[in-house]
Structure 1
Amino acid sequence: MSIFQKPTSAYITGRTRVLGILAHPTDHVKAPTGINRIAVARGKDAVMVPLNVSPSDLGRVVTGLRALRSFDGAIVTVPHKQSAISLCDEVSPRAAAVGAINILRRAHDGRLIGDQLDGVGFVEGLGSQGIEVARRSVYLVGAGGAANAIAFALAEAGIARLTLANRTLNKIETLAAKLRNAYPDVKVAIGSADPRGHSLVVNATTLGMKPSDPLPLDATLLTPDVVVAEVVMEPEITALLAAARSAGCRIHLGHHMLDHQLQLMASFLGL
């Protein structure tokens, strides 16, 4: 049974531990159903709910969560991944390297501990579909929290070359510098909207969530020998994936990343 199906039994009690997903907006979030399914499967009295928090209110909300004694932690997603790291008392080395978190846990004393599991989940999701990343040449669009995490995880997994593309050049220049310092054996370049010359193309932006969004790259240049991967989960087939499929490319859906993060996230949150 899929972890995204509704739990077969879940009851809110006076002892129920509360988990959240910090996002803005929350309409697109998929994690609560999966986490609640895992909580039921593991026999844990806990529930995850969406927390729609605007960027301007994030600091005040997180301060309040510190004092909520029934609160155990939260997944952190768009647009809060980078700004939330400064609100934590402690973060993992990979979160510090990436400069973003996508999950935080509340300790008994109210301290907040952050980690970054986007990249790990993305690479494991590829592997689950038989797509190995070692020695590949990768084209990655994006410079946000997910893109940074995926870039570091791909480098850690042994890719040979990484081309970074983004609408804001200074952000990928900063990311490129961090990657070159941490992984000198990986060739890192700054690219354009042209994905040619790579065997794996990754959209790590939010472009594709809305029907009006432009494509994140020039899809007319895709060739059938390329794997095109998404992080966007809704819609399942984004405009980019539809274009890639029409070009004969193998496509990799966004939900694979979340599928492989959820078990790790549940454990991190104490489930």
Structure 2
Amino acid sequence: MKLSLRTQAVVGIGLIESSMLVILLYLVFSFIEASTSEEVERRAESMVRVFSATVSDDVLALDLASLYAFVEEAASTPGTAFARIIDHEGHLLAQAGDGEFLLKPFRPSIRGRGLPDVYMASAPIEKAGLNYGSVEIGLDLREQKTAIDGLKSNSLTIAVLEVLIAAGFSIAAGHYLVRRLNQMRAVVRRAHEENYQQRIDDRGVDEVSELAREIDQLMASADWDYGTGKRRTEDLKALNRLLQRKISELRRL
């Protein structure tokens, strides 16, 4: 199947542009998700360590009022879904936060598994090497996930627009180039019919224009040679007629 230069340019540029954009978007999205996951993990680990150290004395003293105050304050932190304190026997001492997430079973989030709606983390409550329970927190990541999804959607939209713009430019540039090449082809085709009068007259400054000027010079030279040869042929014909007339006159003598 014959593909025009314009089609080859559009397909080639489209494939290159699409491939590069796919690789770029994959790397950018992977970096965003990885960096966000690392930041969430650092924040969760820092919160549970501080939370555990803060409530350890009140857990030992079973000061439930203070424990409720601590979990209320922790749960009110922006982006926190819930906070919970468990004693060493697994009994709930205090909890606060979004009721939807408090009803869900606690499952510590695993690193490198992507972003869940709620990132859960826990830390033991230790004093003098003894375990007195644990603290659990959940970070609400729904807004962050929505923002990342929006970023991905916008990036894909921009990528599609970029491909379309590149394709449009390729089509326009290919059409312009093919039109100039068709002019050259028409001139060369007429040269085969011994018509050397037509010129391309391309006034551009690129390589195609240089080729067009070379063809114009070649056509001018061919036109001069053709005209000179034609005149010589006419001269030879006239001389031949003159010789034949002289020969006829000599024969009559």
TM-score, length basis structure 1: 0.18
Higher strand proportion: 1
- Choose 1 or 2 for highest CA Rg: 2
